[in-house]
Chain A
Amino acid sequence: MNPRFAPIVLALATAALFMASLAFGAAPVGLARGIAALITGDDPVAAVIMREIRIPRALLGLGIGFSLGLCGAALQGFLRNPLAEPGLIGVSGAASFGAVVVFYSGIAGAFALAVPAGALAGAAFAVLFLLALSFGRASPMTLILAGVAVTSLSGALTALALNLSPNPFAAYEVIFWLLGSLKDRSMTDVAVALPLMAAGCVIVVLTGRALDALSLGEDAASTLGIDLRRVSLLLVVGVALAVGAGTAVSGAIGFVGLVVPHLLRPFTDRRPSTLLLASGFGGATLLLAADIAVRFIVPDRELNVGVVTALIGAPFFLWLVIRSRRELT
């Protein structure tokens, strides 16, 4: 298959799943009735369900899935590590912790972007830490182990922050922040997160050419005129924006950025730059599909979408670990 087709095919799949996401929900409102209601305005209940519940949910699934797939591909390319992924190396976890601190301390009321700002700070911190580590010539395993440490530390701090809240419900919300959900988000969340995610994605895509050069090695990239410091700065800002903003409204959703680039690499020309867009749409496809699945698996008490992505991603991760160990020996 011509490698140029991969992003187009995946973009079509994303569009189809976006529509499917609008079609299913707790209320018996199908796609046809929903769209008719939006156009004619005769059916206010269906119109509100579409406009205020399902469209925001589908938009967030699209944006967050795209961000996670794209950032996974970019991080794998930049760190030249097949296991790099926002969820695994602690970026999502740290973003979650940042969001939790801001939201539950009540600072969130001060200004609309406070929660995303907290998440961005957390994500940026984690990316910086990992880049600093990898510039010290860390082996792939060192990087992953450091990521695991960052993830469990932020998970523990998240639980601690939630338990310190005087609100009795807060302690139970650790599940949302660690496993993510898109349930009953609103247009307010879209307005807050989507522009930041879009900006982050644009910045990450800008690093494409540099990532191609980097696949030849750092020295070769330097001779090609790639400024490594500029690229890492772009990546830190881009990943922090894209993953941070998404995590602020959905909690940490893992494994999307790991699975998607690996699955798609064979269908591209294996250059990181072509993989970026394909992985973005692949991530959107996977997350939208997982988010539709959670509405049917346990319809009464909706599952967190991070449960489904972890069920798909964790065995895949294990397989990658085993394979990379075989290659090393």
Chain B
Amino acid sequence: MGGRFRRWTAGGFLAAALLLAGPPVSAAAPEPAAPTVVSLNVCTDQLAMLIAAPGQLLSVSALSRDRSLSVLHEQATDWPANRGLAEEVLQETPDVVVTGTFTLHNTTTLLRRLGFEVVEFAPAVSLDDIRANIARMGELLHRENRAGELVREFDAALEAVAAANAACPRNDDKPGVLTFGHNGVTEGAGTLQHAVIEAAGFRNLGARGGASGMNYIPLETLLSLRPDLVLIPKGFEAPSLAARQFSHPALKALLSGVTSGAVDGALWTCGSPFTAQAVETLAELRRKVTDCEDSGQ
């Protein structure tokens, strides 16, 4: 998606930027009502990049350029990067600072003391949270129309998945799926991953027995659950012990459905409009696992 988006819109982007904003820093003040904003969190970064009008977003966090965390890692280079330091915000003097609830607590407190309006976004753990966060960012930036458009696209994508799934009805016994992350961590109920897995029509074995949040799952337990599909992350290029279990012979001996990097981690690290793509990818995978490919299409 990133590549295509860039190819088709790069020219338009540039033209728009030149026409409307000029060079971003010395920007002629945007419309008086539109507040300027600095984002300090990789999740708010992406919402702000999607929603802000040219010139409105002064800088995004450096993490937004990280391929493994941020879907918009390429576009993020169009904005200056900050390291989440209060000093940087002081120089940029935005009207609003947006950040995550659980990040940078000291910075948040300091910025409030210095008189900045700091708005914290709780991490999305459900699809409704994503809709709410998009709408909230739209309100904050006085860009309600753009936010509404994004929510409508998001809903349309999810409805399309639901329609395709209807041809391949959900069976509560099968197929079971489990995320198996670095250091043997799996996601239970109350996580965005759980919401995505359920929306795709899978049963999340990570939430068995009411398990919620992120939990350590021993390899033995994973094997005895007999999941139809194990989702392992693509991992980093540099080696770590945390990733060593992904190539444990026991996984390969027993399970045919171990899929690495099926869902690009960035799609569901942050709840964003892109999370719909994670649902689409998994739903497609489910139709394959359940042999619905023929009857469904």
| A residues apposed to B, CB below 8 Å | 25-29, 44-45, 48-49, 51-53, 103-104, 106, 108-109, 165-170, 172-173, 176, 184, 186-188, 300-302
Contacts and interface: CB of A to CB of B under 8 A. Distances in A.
A27 B250 contact: no
A104 B184 CA distance: 19
A49 B223 contact: yes
B249 interface: yes
B291 to A, nearest CB: 22
Contacts of A53: 219-220, 223, 250
A108 B240 CA distance: 11
A26 B184 CA distance: 13
Q: Which 4 residue pairs are nearest across A and B when measured between Cβ atoms?
A: A26-B218, A52-B250, A169-B242, A27-B220
A186 B220 contact: no
B82 to A, nearest CB: 20
A51 B254 CA distance: 11
A169 B223 contact: no
Interface string B151-186: 000000000000000000000000000000011100
B245 interface: yes
Interface string B61-78: 000000000000000000
Interface in B209-254: 216, 218-221, 223-224, 226, 236-243, 245, 248-250, 253-254
B254 A45 contact: yes
B242 A173 contact: yes
16 contacts: A27-B218, A48-B223, A48-B253, A49-B220, A52-B250, A103-B239, A108-B239, A165-B239, A165-B240, A167-B239, A167-B240, A170-B240, A172-B242, A176-B241, A186-B250, A302-B218
Contacts of B237: 166-167
Contact of B250 (A48, A106, A176): A48
Nearest to A25: B220
Nearest to B217: A26
Given A104-B240, A169-B243, A184 B183 contact: no
Given A25-B220, A301-B216, A166 B238 contact: yes
A192 B255 CA distance: 25
Contact of A169 (B182, B224, B250): B182
Contact of A173 (B223, B236, B240): B240
Most buried by B among A53, A109, A302: A53
B142 to A, nearest CB: 36
Given A48-B253, A53-B219, A300-B216, A106 B238 contact: yes
Given A48-B253, A53-B250, A167 B238 contact: yes
Contacts of A109: 239
A304 to B, nearest CB: 12
A170 B219 CA distance: 20
A31 B238 CA distance: 38
Contacts of A45: 223-224, 226, 254
Contacts of A187: 249
B187 to A, nearest CB: 16
A49 B237 CA distance: 29
Contacts of B182: 169
A51 B252 CA distance: 13
A305 to B, nearest CB: 15
B250 A49 contact: yes
Contacts of B253: 48, 51-52
B245 A104 contact: no
A168 B236 CA distance: 9
Contacts of A166: 236-238
B238 A104 contact: yes
Most buried by B among A45, A51, A169: A169
A40 to B, nearest CB: 16
A270 B240 CA distance: 45
B226 to A, nearest CB: 7
A104 B249 CA distance: 21
Most buried by B among A48, A51, A300: A48
A44 B239 CA distance: 31
Given A104-B238, A173-B242, A44 B219 contact: no
A188 B253 CA distance: 13
B224 A186 contact: no
Contacts of A49: 220, 223-224, 250
